A = this chain, B = another copy of it.
Amino acid sequence: MKNPLSFDGFIQIAIVVQDIQKAAETWARFFNIPVPEIRYRPPAPNPDLTYRGKPAEYGLKLANIEAGPFVIELHEPDERDSTFREFLDKHGNGVHHLGFQVGKKRDAIVGELEEMGYAMRTIGYYPGSSWTIVDSEDDLGVNLNIKPRA
């Protein structure tokens, strides 16, 4: 790629689970840390969020675990269509994506990946940054999240 990814940009391990309460408590127990707060984002219309090219509207429970230079993000999706629900139905619990911060190269990288034939499973814009899930699990063994900023 003309605009390759860099391991220096590694920021995130995102995990999908069927039971986020149990996962949060078990991570806390294993690492002797406080049980991370579980937030709930109810489904809501969002013009800045797509799943496989269509508007996405799904509920999600989330918890973040600060792990030094990176973050472990736990996700428990509801039954509505989302990249997380797709993963859980196909694979069960597991690592949904590895996240990389790429700065201003985000558009160039996503463009190159699309030219190579990779689908963007989810694109979400929010104030200050965005997230883009590259459907790379068949080739890399894991999906990627391309972010301009953490």
Chain A interfacial positions (CB closer than 8 Å to B): 1, 4-8, 10, 13, 15-17, 22-23, 26-27, 29-32, 67-69, 74, 90-95, 98, 113, 136-142, 144
Contact = CB atoms under 8 A, between A and B. Distances in A.
Q: Mostly helix, strand, loop or mixed at chain A's interface?
A: mixed
A132 to B, nearest CB: 14
A10 B71 CA distance: 12
**Number of copies of this protein chain within its complex:** 2
In this complex, the member of A13, A27, A95 whose beta carbon has the largest number of chain B beta carbons within 10 angstroms is A95
Contacts of A6: 31
B32 A139 contact: no
A67 B140 CA distance: 14
Given A1-B29, A6-B31, A93-B142, 7 more contacts: A1-B30, A7-B68, A15-B142, A23-B139, A30-B140, A93-B138, A95-B95
B68 A23 contact: no
Nearest to A91: B91
A38 to B, nearest CB: 14
26 contacts: A1-B30, A1-B32, A4-B30, A5-B30, A7-B31, A7-B67, A7-B68, A8-B68, A10-B68, A13-B13, A15-B141, A15-B142, A16-B141, A22-B139, A30-B113, A30-B136, A30-B140, A74-B141, A93-B137, A93-B141, A93-B142, A94-B94, A94-B137, A94-B141, A95-B95, A95-B142
